[in-house]
Amino acid sequence: MKIIIAPDSFKGCLTSVEVASAIEAGIKKAAPAIKVTKIPVADGGEGTVNAFVAATNGEIIKTKVHGPFMNLIDSYFGILGDKKTAVIEMASAAGLDLIEPSKRNPMHTTTFGVGELIANAMDIGCQDIIIGIGGSATTDGGMGMAQALGIKFYDRNNVLLGQGGRYLNEIASIDMSGLDRRISHCHIMAACDVKNPLYGKSGASFVYSRQKGANDEDIHILDSGLQNLARIAKNVNQEVFEDTEGAGAAGGLGFGLLTFLGASLKPGIDIVIETCHFMEQIKEADLLITGEGKTDFQTAYGKVPVGLALAAKKYNVPVVCISGALGKGYEQVYLHGIDGVFSIIPDAMNLEDAIKNARRYLEDFSYSLIRTVLSIKNKPFRN
């Protein structure tokens, strides 16, 4: 019997790698002879690098870059098992969690460190680069990222501009001549699961900047600045990207990647399926076990469990989703390829206890699940 374990993280509790290991422990306790393949999954946010590295037997590269306020910080990126592909989390250089809540302000934060991570990946020979663009602290339209890679932004007096969203309205010209030449040989994919345009009421500033520390005035200034960036950028790239789905992701980093680096934006789950060779793995499987911290009506809209389940159904592989909790509308996942969805919590308890004991609950539930599956299949247990 072959089982694929491919969970998302239990956010705020366990990484996808830890979740997969706990599920594997429960399976092996019930039936040591079962063949298990672990594919930890992340869709672009926190844990993306570790998930891809674990799934492909890659490695973590530690480095230093400039953080959201241009302060030097410790960061990292991953090299996949093919030794050719880099995977980057923008949040490891420009993420919200890098800043104390009282100091967050997208008027002043920059994606400069993201550009440095891209350069570091190219330094060691990577030409295929995957960038997870969740969890940003910025609304600079990717300006900082572009600056780190050699692009210059000038005001109307031909004065070179600095970093941060506050400079977007001052951009009068963009000089692309200094862009790192290696970019032209790279294939850059951004894992992007939001569909927001760059600006407007559904854009980067109005939808996301408040949670990054912006006040009402800041939000309008940043939105105006993003409009200005798009207007000036048309002078260096005739293709229009401000209305592209995902252009507003990560404070407009999606737009910057499209416009300045020729990147492509793809749903995170599609990148996972392609990069981790999921279809090759699943076609011979007897069962897929996936999971997430909380399963509710939102899961049906393209989150990891449903994305993987729909792929598994192409080979008629049954799918079980194991979750920390079940929320309103979780039943909708039954319409999207999932055959069974369960909470691991054995009894009523507070959140603190649930988080503290999540690993054990995962292992215990997986043990019971496999005993049940094997019983139904009339296969003997191996103790």
157 and 96 together in one domain:
yes
64 and 165 together in one domain:
yes
In a domain, 383, yes or no: no
Going edge to edge, which strands form the sheet with 287-295? 35-38, 2-5, 287-295, 319-326, 340-343
CATH number, domain with residue 305: 3.40.50.10350
Q: Is the pLDDT of residue 268 over 90?
A: no
Confidence (pTM): 0.88
For the segment 12-68, what is each residue's pLDDT rounded down to a tens digit?
A: 789 999 999 999 999 999 999 999 999 998 867 778 899 899 989 999 999 999 999
Q: Is the pLDDT of residue 282 over 70?
A: yes
Q: Are strands 173-175 and 152-154 parallel, antiparallel or unpaired?
A: antiparallel
255 and 299 together in one domain:
no
Helix (H) or strand (E) holding 13: none
What is the extent of the structural domain holding 310? 2-41+277-376
In a domain, 327, yes or no: yes
Average pLDDT, the chain: 93
154 and 235 together in one domain:
yes
Among the three residues 207, 240, 268, which one is the final residue of a domain in this structure?
A: 268
pLDDT category of residue 269 using cuts at 50, 70 and 90: confident
203 and 104 together in one domain:
yes
74 and 36 together in one domain:
no
- Using an 8 Å Cβ cutoff, are 268 and 190 in contact? no
What total of structural domains would you count in the chain?
A: 2
199 and 71 together in one domain:
yes
230 and 347 together in one domain:
no
Contacts with 207 (C-beta within 8 Å, 6 or more apart), sequence order = 196, 248
In a domain, 382, yes or no: no
- Using an 8 Å Cβ cutoff, are 177 and 235 in contact? no
In a domain, 138, yes or no: yes
225 and 356 together in one domain:
no
Q: Report the largest interatomic distance among the alpha carbons of the chain, rounded to a whole angstrom.
A: 79
In a domain, 114, yes or no: yes
148 or 380, higher pLDDT = 148
